[in-house]
Amino acid sequence: MTPRRSHDRSTLSLRLWEWTGTALVNLLVLTLVATYLSPIVYMLFTAVKEDNQFNDIDAPVWPAQPVTYEYQGARYVIYRVPTEQGVREWALVEPHRQESSFVDPQHPEAGLIAWKGQWRTLEKVYQVSISLGSFEFLWRVMDLPRLLRNTLIVTALSEIGVLLSSIAVAYGFARFRIPYGRALFFLMIATIIIPDKITLIPTYFIFVRVLGWNGTWLPLIVPHFFGNAILIFLLRQNFKVVPRELDEAAMLDGAGPLRTLVSVILPNCLPAVATVALLHFFYAWNEAQVAGLYLGINPDLYTISFGVQNYQSRFPPPNALQASALLAMAVPVLVLFLAQRFFMRDMVVTGAEKPRAEGKDRRSVDRDLARRT
């Protein structure tokens, strides 16, 4: 065996192993994704089923209805009937315990066909049947337009508050020398580990007994104007990534701290700001505990998450139950789909600076900074 042939065989074996490994990894990933998405697929199938399918023990998992055939002014269910000529799809006209009568939909002129056997052991013929009746019912019963309007108002106002406050606090921690700034920052981070149930009673007492905000949107909106520790942490880490030379260049051009934030910091951290906005949007949209605590006495101000939860507590049928869950999650999924190119793009939470190109002197770096500003 020549050395060249041995080398070609080794290369072929290496490529074969590489292809096999890649295929196995892809198969594993697809299996995990399919397993993760299976509850959502089942939820979608259940939401578009008709009510009578849940009473049919032979019905398939997907939305389907038995195929029927009209014979002499009445409709009969079609079954798969084993015969000497093979399996036939006949309509059951006269069911009996030992011998039943069927009609062939392809040749109805032949009349009734006698078949010996237990008809209950036969398999029905199903066809896909999608029903949107549960969605139409929920649109009327739950007053979804009102729930959507309320949720959008609460989400938009709290979004504005949390962005303004979180950006301001994160900018202060990232760029200014604050007395005991590090201790204050770690104290703020420590508040993340405090369970919400611990602060639930004190905040409820303040909002209801002191401020009289029960039955209003204020408890759902005002707290977000004081920032969020997790969002402040994410923004502060991204603000620290932006080189300080950009701030100095902006100061030389006469920009103050606010102008530097708006014109220099935020444009370079736009993906992080978009991510923070999306994270809060998902939280505000799915918030049901606080909404149920303060809005329970005022049904006109219900948000969609609490409205759906309140409806599901009444033991609705399975299709309406799953349809209500789909309606509650439809808007966040749509928003995430439209903003996916911003979500977590260029997200840096380690605090490490972005690597600069090697071999550049100070003059070339200054030119790059001038171009970026």
The span from the CA of 272 to the CA of 123, in Å, is: 56
Report which of residues 14 and 179 the model is more confident about. 179
The span from the CA of 170 to the CA of 234, in Å, is: 8
* Same-domain pairing of 300 and 154: yes
Boundary residue ending a domain (76, 91, 124): 124
Task: State residue 360's pLDDT score.
Answer: 42
Angle at 60 between CA 57 and CA 62, to 5 degrees: 135
130 found inside a domain: no
Boundary residue ending a domain (124, 159, 189): 124
The pLDDT of 245-270, averaged and rounded, is 86
* Same-domain pairing of 110 and 245: no
* Same-domain pairing of 185 and 106: no
* Same-domain pairing of 344 and 213: yes
Report which of residues 151 and 45 the model is more confident about. 151
Neighbouring-strand partners of residue 90: 79
Q: What is the dihedral of CA 216, 294, 287, 185, to 10 degrees?
A: 90
- Using 50, 70 and 90 to split pLDDT, how confident is the model at 169? very high
* Same-domain pairing of 120 and 89: yes
* Same-domain pairing of 103 and 193: no
33 found inside a domain: no
* Same-domain pairing of 107 and 210: no
Mean pLDDT for the chain?
Answer: 82
Using a pLDDT cut of 90, give the percent of the chain over it.
Answer: 22
The pLDDT of 262-271, averaged and rounded, is 86
Range of the domain at 96: 68-124
The dihedral built from the CA positions of residue 219, 225, 226 and 230, taken in this order, carries a sign that is positive
12 found inside a domain: no
Rounded to 10°, the helix 144-175/181-190 angle is: 150
Looking at the structure of the chain, the number of domains it has is 2
Task: State residue 357's pLDDT score.
Answer: 38
Q: Which two tokens stand for residue 135?
A: 């969605």
Kindly report the CATH number assigned to the domain that includes residue 206: 1.10.3720.10
The pLDDT of 112-126, averaged and rounded, is 89
* Same-domain pairing of 85 and 162: no
Q: Dihedrals φ, ψ of 39, to 5°? A: -60, -35
Bridge-based pairing of strands 86-94 and 74-83 is: antiparallel
- Using 50, 70 and 90 to split pLDDT, how confident is the model at 3? low
329 found inside a domain: yes
The span from the CA of 197 to the CA of 367, in Å, is: 53
* Same-domain pairing of 244 and 363: yes
* Same-domain pairing of 209 and 261: yes
56 found inside a domain: no
Task: State residue 171's pLDDT score.
Answer: 92
The span from the CA of 284 to the CA of 303, in Å, is: 10
The answer to whether the beta carbons of residues 166 and 227 sit under 8 Å apart is: yes
* Same-domain pairing of 195 and 326: yes
* Same-domain pairing of 156 and 230: yes
The dihedral built from the CA positions of residue 45, 50, 59 and 318, taken in this order, carries a sign that is positive
Task: State residue 354's pLDDT score.
Answer: 44
- What distances in angstroms separate CA 87 from CA 111, 121, 122, one per listed residue? 19, 14, 11
Judged against a pLDDT cut of 50, whether residue 291 lies above it is answered with yes
82 found inside a domain: yes
The answer to whether the beta carbons of residues 326 and 43 sit under 8 Å apart is: yes
pTM, two decimals, is 0.70
256 found inside a domain: yes
Judged against a pLDDT cut of 70, whether residue 173 lies above it is answered with yes
Task: State residue 180's pLDDT score.
Answer: 85
40 found inside a domain: no
